[in-house]
Amino acid sequence: MKKIKFLLVVLIMAFSISLTPAQNLPLMPYPKSVKQLNTNFRLDKEFTLFVEGNPNERIYPAATRMLRRLSDRTGLFFPQDVITSTTKTESPPMVISVKRPGKVILNEDESYQLFIYDNKIQLMAETDLGAMHGFETLLQLLSADENGYYLPAVEIEDQPRFPWRGLMIDACRHFMPINMVKRNLDAMAAVKMNVLHWHLSEDQGFRVESKVYPKLHQLGSDGLYYSHAQIKDVIEYAAARGIRVYPEFDVPGHATSWFAAYPEFASAPGPYTIERNWGIFDPTFDPTNEETYTFLNNFFGEMAALFPDEYFHIGGDEVNGKQWDANESIQKFMNENNIPDNHALQTYFNQRILKILTKHGKKMIGWDEIFQPGMPQNIVIHSWRGTKALMEAAQKGYRSILSNGYYIDLIQPTDFHYLNDPIPADSPLSEKEKKNILGGEATMWSELVTHENVDSRIWPRTAAIAERLWSPQNINDVDTMYKRIERISFLLEEHGLLHIKNYEMMLRRLTNNNDITYLKTLVDLIEPVKIYTRHRQGVKYTSFSPYTRVVDAARPDADAARKFRNEVDRYLADPMLNSSNLIPSLLRWVDNHSKLMETIKLSPILKEIEPLSHNLSKIASLALEAIEYINNNRPTPQYWVEQNLDLIEEAKKPYGQAELMLVSAVEKLVLTAGKN
């Protein structure tokens, strides 16, 4: 008996040691160091706070926002209204200490310490930027029980792993209104991201007012553009949340909208109109025309004054060179100047642009294509091709940021992004070379989204990317990430995000406001096809296409489907495990098709996903048969396995550019049953 007790104690201790902090607290990004204490700080209506030290003025509205968010979540009527530099309070439970004002620049100190005890809270930071990160951690800790609201007592010391943690918003393919940009800035701040990369020119639209060349926005935007006042407002809004904003104006390619206004700078004669299709197109600036550089100098000078950040993105990607090859004047220039090919010609162009930006006080960023021999090391390489290119740039002394693996428009699962590290554990880089990798950016290209479903493509997956860029490298457990991100997704709604709210709205529209119960059951289990497959499935999308179909409502990384796949894995891993967790869902899915058909009959727009609905019913029924074979250990006829594997192959096919995400799990059940 003593031996049994001893073994139990050992097992409990081992479990306690193996229980990583990420399994205890619903924080994201997870802090560098967390120590949990065995007590709580109880919130009540007397809660107050005080800011001391020498912070930037933005700390006071940030503290006010934090207080209001606490009040809104708890319903508590706190005595403080607006926190200012003159706010005084006797013995405040929470004290925020800031040593100096922070600057919204690269490599500013963003560290903080948060100590929560049973009777006081101390938040300390070198800068107000770090203190604001501490606010977000505190808000994520808010919990409740039968006795009210509380904050678990902790001692947290935290700082980011990478200084560049960004989100790129493409406002060109589909225009994104200011309220979309602002709500996403709030969400970025909530997960400690600090860079907004604003993609503002493209074949499909030129999105900024130009007072120097007004025809750019007048003829290149369909009237959908940001005024100078709106740009300044967003920059100020972002800076108040510790977020840098820098623009991208894509040159020399992806430039059709520029030429709708000023065709004289193109490499082939016009006229040009705004591009309505998606893809890589021919229109390209003429790098041999001196007037091109006069034009870009004047425009970039205007934009450099509008955007105060020190970085400026020139794009530089996907120049197909067709206009250059066909232009006799350009070919003559290349021959006379010993420029051997189009890569070298683009390097010549980039070097000229670099001089312009440098004159205007900016540091140049461009996509991988600007990483060419002859380019100086004071540029920043933005890698969309992958970590190999990133490593090569770092080894050659170039600073770089990673977006390959963070293309959230490609509908890849959260864990794919989460495990994509800018500096993998097996990286060949030296410690000095690693410092050249500044961080990364999630990229939200907007060919297949509008402002009403774009949030569902960005969130919550970008929170996992934010953690990869902030947290220590060894915080990488996928299961605990998924547990935490579910709560973070819910918390992000308070910033006005539509990633949850608009889902059922879009389903109601699809059913003409009829019952969505059975449609939701199906759409919860499907995802849009991934990578660029959607463009190759017989539907030609343009900027005017409807983005209101089931595929547009369906979300990446369908949670219900992922949980079912995990439940199947647990069931198959343990022969003694009861299959009862699987049966109720499968029975519901078997019956769902007949009920959904009544809705489909009234909504022709749903006809395209009828095969998905039918396949869900069939594979759910098949899964039940497989489980019965497995549970009863009955011999499985070979013909049953063969014919049902054919059924599974059929169920893998996408319809309406969406696919069922249960099929792989059912296939595992059938193959396991087939071994009997």
| Residue pLDDT, tens place only, 391-434 | 999 999 999 999 999 999 999 999 999 999 999 999 999 999 99
Confidence band of 15 (pLDDT split at 50, 70, 90): very low
pLDDT at residue 371 tops 80: yes
**Where along the chain do the CATH 3.30.379.10 domains lie?**
18-158
Average pLDDT of the segment spanning 320-325: 97
Average pLDDT of the segment spanning 282-294: 98
Query: Which pLDDT does position 277 carry in this prediction?
Result: 97
pLDDT at residue 29 tops 70: yes
Query: What pairs with residue 246 in β-bridges?
Result: 197
Known catalytic residues are: 318
Q: Which of 28, 25, 85, 19 is nearest to 51 (CA)?
A: 85
Query: What pairs with residue 155 in β-bridges?
Result: 35, 115
pLDDT at residue 279 tops 90: yes
E strand spans, 24-79: 33-42, 49-53
Pick the residue with more confidence: 560 or 634?
560
CA atoms within 13 A on the CB side of 320: 10
Average pLDDT of the segment spanning 571-588: 89
Average pLDDT of the segment spanning 16-30: 65
Average pLDDT of the segment spanning 588-616: 97
* pTM higher than 0.75: yes
Lookup: tokens for 490: 């819910």
pLDDT at residue 6 tops 50: no
**Cα separation, 395 vs 412, whole angstroms:** 29
State the DSSP H helix or E strand holding residue 152, giving kind and residue range, or none if neither.
strand 148-158
Query: Which pLDDT does position 321 carry in this prediction?
Result: 96
pLDDT at residue 5 tops 70: no
Strand pairing class (205-206; 201-202): antiparallel
Lookup: tokens for 318: 């996907």
Average pLDDT of the segment spanning 590-615: 97
Confidence band of 18 (pLDDT split at 50, 70, 90): very low
pLDDT > 70 fraction of the chain, expressed in percent and rounded: 96
Average pLDDT, the chain: 94
Query: Which pLDDT does position 476 carry in this prediction?
Result: 96
**Cα separation, 633 vs 675, whole angstroms:** 10
- How far is CA 381 from each of CA 94, 387, 420, 531, rounded to the nearest angstrom? 43, 12, 18, 23
Lookup: tokens for 312: 């400026």
Query: Which pLDDT does position 21 carry in this prediction?
Result: 44
Question: CA-based Rg of the chain, rounded to a whole angstrom?
Answer: 28
**C-alpha triplet 354, 384, 444: angle, nearest 5°:** 100
| Residue pLDDT, tens place only, 52-95 | 999 999 999 999 999 999 999 999 999 999 999 999 888 999 99
Which DSSP symbol is given to 579? G
Query: Which pLDDT does position 7 carry in this prediction?
Result: 43
Lookup: tokens for 295: 């034009």
Average pLDDT of the segment spanning 502-521: 98
**Contact between 525 and 626 (Cβ < 8 Å):** no
| Residue pLDDT, tens place only, 113-165 | 999 999 999 999 999 999 999 999 999 999 999 999 999 999 999 999 999 99
Helices (H) and strands (E) in the chain, counts: 25, 19
For residue 271, cis peptide bond before it (omega within 30 degrees of 0):
yes
Q: Which residue has the tokens 């918390």?
A: 491
Q: Is the CATH number of domain 164-490 3.20.20.80?
A: yes
- How far is CA 110 from each of CA 61, 159, 192, 239, rounded to the nearest angstrom? 18, 6, 9, 14
For residue 29, cis peptide bond before it (omega within 30 degrees of 0):
yes
Query: Which pLDDT does position 373 carry in this prediction?
Result: 85
Confidence band of 216 (pLDDT split at 50, 70, 90): very high
**Contact between 495 and 460 (Cβ < 8 Å):** no
**Cα separation, 301 vs 305, whole angstroms:** 6
pLDDT at residue 2 tops 70: no
Q: Which CATH superfamily is domain 18-158 in?
A: Chitobiase/beta-hexosaminidase domain 2-like (3.30.379.10)
Query: What pairs with residue 512 in β-bridges?
Result: none
Average pLDDT of the segment spanning 491-514: 98
Average pLDDT of the segment spanning 498-522: 98
- How far is CA 602 from each of CA 55, 106, 422, 589, 598, rounded to the nearest angstrom? 60, 55, 49, 21, 7
For 468, other C-beta atoms within 10 Å of its C-beta total 27
Tell me the three state secondary structure of residue 502: helix
Confidence band of 24 (pLDDT split at 50, 70, 90): confident
Average pLDDT of the segment spanning 168-177: 98
**Where along the chain do the CATH 3.20.20.80 domains lie?**
164-490
E strand spans, 314-405: 363-367, 380-383, 399-402
Confidence band of 22 (pLDDT split at 50, 70, 90): very low
Query: Which pLDDT does position 536 carry in this prediction?
Result: 87
Query: Which pLDDT does position 60 carry in this prediction?
Result: 98
| Residue pLDDT, tens place only, 239-277 | 999 999 999 999 999 999 999 999 999 999 999 999 999
Which DSSP symbol is given to 266? B
pLDDT at residue 8 tops 90: no
Query: Which pLDDT does position 538 carry in this prediction?
Result: 80
